[in-house]
Amino acid sequence: MAHHFTRCRRLTTTATGLTLRFLSALAVQGRVAASTQNQALSALLFLYRDVLSIDLPWLDKVVRAKRPQRVPSVLSREEVHRLLSAMEGRPWLLASLLYGTGMRLMECLRLRVKDVDFARNEITVREGKGGKDRHTVLPRTLLDPLQREIERARLIHANDLAQGFGATWLPFALARKYPGAPKEFGWQYVFPSVQRSRDPRDGIVRRHHIDDSILARAIKRARTQAAISKLVSAHTLRHSFATHLLESGYDIRTVQELLGHKDVSTTQIYTHVLNRGGRGVLSPLDRGPR
C-alpha cells in the first residue's frame, strides 16, 4: 500500500511539472493570447481539482500571458451615419439604439417593455455588467420607431397568449415571487424572436429575444456597403457613443454613469481617441512657423 501511495505521488509530481511547463510555454514560446492560456488553465484546473482531487499550490509559478491593452475602435460621426444608412428594419433600430444609448449588445437585446420610459426619454438598463441597474438616454429620434416596435411586440404577445403561451423568462426568483409577471406585457422583450423555442433551462416553450447573430450579419453587410475600412461590431457603436459625447464636451463622470462603468478610469480610455478635448494634442508640424 505504501509503495502504491509513493508511486502515485511520484506520478502526480511528474504530471504537475509537465503541466507547469506546458502552461508557461504557451505564454513564452507560443505567445498565445491571455484568453487561450486561461482556457487551457481552466481545463487543467477541472482535471486536477474535480477529477483527481489534487491541490495546485504550484499555480503561482506559472508564467501568465499578458492581456494586451488596446485602444477601442471608434467610428467618426460621418461613418456612423453611413453605416446606419445602409441598414433597415429591426437591425437598423438595434444599431441606432446601441449608438444612441451606449448600451451593451445584450443589454439592448434583453430590454423589457417596462424599462422604456417615453415620457422621460429614458431607458432603464437592468442587471448590467456587475449586476447593477442604471439609466441612459432615449434618443428623441428613435421615439416613433421604438413605439412601433413595442406595438409589434404587443401583437406577438397577444397571439402567444391566445395560443396558450406568452410567459417570458424572468431572472432569479422573480417568477416565484410574482407568479403573474411572466405573462404581463411589461415584462416582455422589446425585440422578441420571430419564433418560440424550448428553454433548455427548464424545458418550457417561450419566446426569447432576437438572436445577436442577426445584428452581427447586418452590421457586416452595412460596413461593406458603406465602404468602411475599420473593423465594426456592435460594441464599436458603444465606443463611438462614449467618444462622441466626450467630443461634445460632456463631463466624463456623466459618460461614466451612462455607460455603467464602475470606475472612471475605464471611461478614460475614450479620451485616448478624441480628436479634441482633454487629450487633444496639436502636432508641432501643424503649428507652422511663428
Q: Which of 35, 60, 61, 59 is nearest to 48 (CA)?
A: 59
- The one catalytic residue in 110, 223, 239, 261 is 261
CA distances from 161 to 15, 158, 167, 191, 210 (A): 58, 5, 8, 17, 19
> Catalytic: 81?
no
CA distance 175 to 181: 7
Q: Please, are residues 112 and 189 in contact by the beta-carbon 8 Å criterion?
A: yes
Which amino acid appears at position 257 of this protein? Answer: E
> Catalytic: 178?
no
- The CA angle 173-152-104, to the nearest 5 degrees, is 55
The C-alpha cell at 206 is 417561450
- The one catalytic residue in 48, 99, 104, 134 is 104
Eight-state DSSP code of residue 112: B
- The one catalytic residue in 110, 238, 239, 244 is 238
Region for residue 210 given its phi and psi (left: phi exceeds 0; alpha: psi -120 to 50; beta: otherwise): beta
> Catalytic: 235?
yes
- The one catalytic residue in 129, 135, 183, 196 is 129
Query: Helix crossing, 34-45 with 2-28: angle to 10°?
Result: 170
- The one catalytic residue in 132, 221, 235, 253 is 235
> Catalytic: 279?
no
> Catalytic: 238?
yes
CA distances from 217 to 91, 125, 149, 209, 220 (A): 9, 25, 20, 17, 5
> Catalytic: 183?
no
Q: Supply the residues annotated as catalytic.
A: 104, 129, 235, 238, 261, 270
